[in-house]
């Protein structure tokens, strides 16, 4: 400890922020999940009643919220993850200038705010003839009347998935791009000598095994970002809950109970359930990409 004072000094700001904004909120959420708390009165201890009600009494959660969250996370998470790797691998074969420009273009949607969501996508999928998608489909003769994409329970989730994939190229994509670019070129030369004949064989036998840390980081970021997504459905539809609960995710359910109904104890219970699901998927990703010691 005495010999490493400088190291601990540099680590102190991160440790402090991590404890204050991660550890303490998680502990408070777990503690509140065992209470009935309306933000005004003193919390009443109810034990596991909130968890029992979540599983047995909350029909909205079991019929809509949980399936919606899992479907959205699997399609956007896995699809966005595979797309991130493929784009990173493709850009790595370009020269520096076009690669940098294209990487910035691909990454930029992940930095957009709700303003872009409520303007660009709501205009595209507007439920009248002024919406670009409806206008195009009517001109092509596919439909005769505009489709209410953002207020229909049949179309809201597909639109959310499209928007989620569009904005899924975040830091995981940049990590994969860095991983591909930093692979030792001699490995490809050795692979060519051993019989590797094309780029796809290089990708499966050299690229992916050589960048497992970046692949793991990208997988964890994909899991966390997709399960924490909640603003998409609300901003597209303009309501919380979303129409017919078609786009209702766990984050929306937490906001509904926590900030609309002020049932903070129950909202904390849903938060803990979400945390456990994210942890389970992160463990699965770790088992896939972490190399076992011989």
Q: If DSSP states are collapsed to H, E and C, what string results for 120-178?
A: HHHHHCCCCCCCHHHHHHHHHCCCCCCCCCCCCCCCHHHHHHHHHHHCCCCHHHHHHHH
- Tell me, what's the pLDDT at 294? 44
Domain for residue 34, yes or no? no
Helical H runs in 75-131? 79-91, 96-107, 114-116, 122-124
Domain for residue 274, yes or no? yes
- Tell me, what's the pLDDT at 230? 76
Domain for residue 156, yes or no? yes
Domain for residue 123, yes or no? yes
The answer, as to whether pTM is greater than 0.75, is yes
Domain for residue 160, yes or no? yes
Domain for residue 84, yes or no? yes
Q: What are phi and psi of 45, to 5 degrees?
A: -70, 125
Domain that holds residue 90: 64-289
How many domains are contained in the chain?
1
Rounded CA gap, 3 and 19, in Å?
Answer: 24
- Tell me, what's the pLDDT at 45? 93
Domain for residue 147, yes or no? yes
- Tell me, what's the pLDDT at 113? 56
Contact assessment for residue 114 and residue 231, using Cβ atoms and an 8 Å cutoff? yes
Neighbours of 197 (CB within 10 A): 9
Which CATH number do you get for residue 89? 1.10.3720.10
Domain for residue 54, yes or no? no
One-letter-per-residue 3-state SS of 15-49: HHHHHHHHHHHHHHHHHHCCEECCCCCCCEECCCH
Contact assessment for residue 230 and residue 255, using Cβ atoms and an 8 Å cutoff? yes
Q: Residue ranges of the chain with pLDDT lower than 50?
A: 294
């Amino acid at each position: 400890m005495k010999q490493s004072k400088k190291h601990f000094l540099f680590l102190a700001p991160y440790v402090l922020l991590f404890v204050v904004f991660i550890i303490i909120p998680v502990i408070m959420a777990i503690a509140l999940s065992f209470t009935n708390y309306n933000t005004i009165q003193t919390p009443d201890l109810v034990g596991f009643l909130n968890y029992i009600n979540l599983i047995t009494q909350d029909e909205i959660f079991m019929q809509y919220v949980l399936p919606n969250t899992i479907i959205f996370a699997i399609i956007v998470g896995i699809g966005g993850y595979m797309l991130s790797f493929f784009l990173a691998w493709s850009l790595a074969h370009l020269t520096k200038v076009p690669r940098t420009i294209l990487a910035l273009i691909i990454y930029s949607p992940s930095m957009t705010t709700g303003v872009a969501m409520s303007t660009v996508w709501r205009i595209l999928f507007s439920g009248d003839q002024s919406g670009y998608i409806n206008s195009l489909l009517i001109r092509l003769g596919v439909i005769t009347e505009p489709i209410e994409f953002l207020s229909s329970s049949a179309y809201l989730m597909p639109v959310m998935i499209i928007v989620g994939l569009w904005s899924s190229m975040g830091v995981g994509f940049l990590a994969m791009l860095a991983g591909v670019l930093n692979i030792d070129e001699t490995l490809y030369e050795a692979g060519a000598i051993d019989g590797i004949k094309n780029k796809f064989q290089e990708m499966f036998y050299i690229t992916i095994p050589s960048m497992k840390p970046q692949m793991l980081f990208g997988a964890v970021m994909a899991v966390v970002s997709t399960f924490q997504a909640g603003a998409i459905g609300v901003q597209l539809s303009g309501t919380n809950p979303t129409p017919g609960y078609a786009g209702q995710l766990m984050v929306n359910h937490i906001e509904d109970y926590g900030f609309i109904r002020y049932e903070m104890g129950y909202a904390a219970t849903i938060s803990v359930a979400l945390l456990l699901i994210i942890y389970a998927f992160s463990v699965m990703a770790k088992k896939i990409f972490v190399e076992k010691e011989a």
